Chains A and B, each alone.
Chain A
């Protein structure tokens, strides 16, 4: 592939990203036409439109974009790490650990900051657990890592069910919203803002070795890739990206599976193009889904995970139906 085609594809995705932000800024309880929106953006409009766009809609869209980008990137990385096109960021139990941490703090009645802290702590605990279990004697294989991850995720699933059973009724709604992925309480991305560009830069630097690792670890080693440090880096990076995303928005489903999938079909499997594309594609999907989540049955808000899954499931089934998803295990 020559570098020109990637530039065209990434340029198109970047324009679509800008369009998704414009949509998010314009649509809502107070709809803005294009002239109003332009005026609000430049600060020439009345105070209300200006503050709605700048203090509510755009920060929330930025958070949605970052969460979607993180999940898209983490999904693409997990797929290579596990050599399985059906892997997603949650398959190794990161979201389960985060959910247990978040639900536990919700039950204790602690505030939003503590919930985020609990989610992050649970995600990191899960990452260390899976890494430790998989790193025993004999090294790890993708199959062993996947098995450990699935078992740990099932364990978290049981604890989540337990917490939902014993949790106080008045907190149940908040707990369910967290599990489905929700941006309604979120302001701007804050501390998480630099995580996405830094994560993408690290991942992109590994893109060509990743292309080769996708062909199998034996082939990768034969052509000079140091496989063990590479996969350790990819595991930690994908886990941290996922942990950041779930800390911001709960476990938003399907973005991390569907976005890398669609883009693999559309653009091929060169990760030098695919990784930045998954960031933009994931971001666009979640900005659009979140805009729908707060408008379709306004004034009530839906969890964004409902909309991303409602968009994601039919697309995923369509892809499977077309039978071009590669081999399934």
Chain B
């Protein structure tokens, strides 16, 4: 089943074109890595797919429903975003922060019930924060904050996950475990912007490359990722190395 479909999608920011006439189909069980240099428009494209950036032409459909006709709450049930950064001017506990994800599932007068708390605690356990649920988010490290943001998205439990640089602030161990959690998900689909081509190669099934001039390239990881394309993508020579088990890309 196609969870996300774009038809002739052109996204612009002022004079800058992020992608031109993009046709994309993201199916159930697929994990798309979104790659591109700084300023290529990865964040803008992710925002466009859930209606946060509206400077666009063409069609976007979530689970077969046109995005521009979906209510905000319905969009939140279908698609969720892990933002690139999060800031908190007011103190709040880790558990309260994860519980935010239940908002699109609750009626206007409903309080969070036992099932909502259970969902939030399950998500915190998945990212290894279960012992910190009463901690103030302002006291968390950057990496813990990042894992909490993912737990909030897990609590929201949309079918399409849009992850904006999910590995930001994470050490190598947590980069790999977080992406393993993403890969272990049994249903739904993921589109995640990454800066590490090797993580994209290892955890992605597909890749979408934004070249920064409006050109885009989409396909399976095996087809799309090679040293020539990546060298063009990053405007930097990139070499492929095979260690027998996997191929690795190294910047010269």
**Chain B stretch 64-111: residues in CB contact (< 8 A) with chain A:** 72-77, 80-81, 83, 86-93, 96-97, 100-101, 103-104, 106, 108, 111
- Distance A269 CA – B100 CA, assembled complex (angstroms): 13
B52 at the interface (CB under 8 A from A): yes
- Distance A209 CA – B107 CA, assembled complex (angstroms): 11
B83 touches A218 (CB 8 A): yes
B83 touches A214 (CB 8 A): no
Contacts of B138 in A (CB 8 A): 326-327
Interface string of A86-129 (1 = CB under 8 A from B): 00000000000000000000000000000000000000000000
A224 touches B92 (CB 8 A): no
A269's partner among B72, B74, B86, B91 (CB-CB below 8 A) is B91
A224 touches B104 (CB 8 A): yes
B108's partner among A1, A79, A205 (CB-CB below 8 A) is A205
**Chain A stretch 206-260: residues in CB contact (< 8 A) with chain B:** 208-209, 211-212, 214-216, 218-219, 221-226
**Chain A stretch 264-285: residues in CB contact (< 8 A) with chain B:** 264, 268-270, 272
Interface size class of B (residues with CB under 8 A): 20 to 34
Contacts of B96 in A (CB 8 A): 1, 268-270
Contacts of A270 in B (CB 8 A): 96
Q: How many residues of A contact B (CB 8 A)?
A: 30
Contacts of B81 in A (CB 8 A): 218, 222
**Chain A stretch 52-97: residues in CB contact (< 8 A) with chain B:** 79, 83-85
Interface residues of chain A: helix, strand, loop or mixed (majority): loop
B89 touches A222 (CB 8 A): no
B167 at the interface (CB under 8 A from A): no
A324 at the interface (CB under 8 A from B): yes
- Distance A224 CA – B101 CA, assembled complex (angstroms): 9
- Distance A223 CA – B92 CA, assembled complex (angstroms): 17
**How many residue-residue contacts, CB under 8 A, span A and B?**
80
- Distance A7 CA – B154 CA, assembled complex (angstroms): 30
B72 touches A224 (CB 8 A): yes
- Distance A264 CA – B138 CA, assembled complex (angstroms): 15
B87's partner among A209, A216, A226, A324 (CB-CB below 8 A) is A216
B30 at the interface (CB under 8 A from A): no
B10 at the interface (CB under 8 A from A): no
- Least Cβ–Cβ distance between A143 and chain B, in angstroms: 12
Task: Name the residue of chain B whose CB is nearest to the CB of A265.
Answer: B91
A47 at the interface (CB under 8 A from B): no
- Distance A293 CA – B89 CA, assembled complex (angstroms): 35
Interface string of B100-131 (1 = CB under 8 A from A): 11011010100100000000000000000000
- Distance A40 CA – B101 CA, assembled complex (angstroms): 54
- Distance A138 CA – B18 CA, assembled complex (angstroms): 20
Q: Which of B50, B103, B104 has the most CB of A within 10 A?
A: B103
Please list 12 pairs of residues, one from A and one from B, whose beta carbons are closer than 8 Å in the complex, sorted by A's number: A205-B108, A208-B108, A212-B100, A216-B86, A216-B87, A222-B52, A223-B100, A224-B76, A268-B91, A270-B96, A326-B88, A327-B87
Q: Give residues in A with beta carbon < 8 Å to B.
A: 1, 3, 79, 83-85, 205, 208-209, 211-212, 214-216, 218-219, 221-226, 264, 268-270, 272, 324, 326-327
Nearest 3 Cβ contacts at the A-B interface = A224-B76, A224-B104, A224-B73
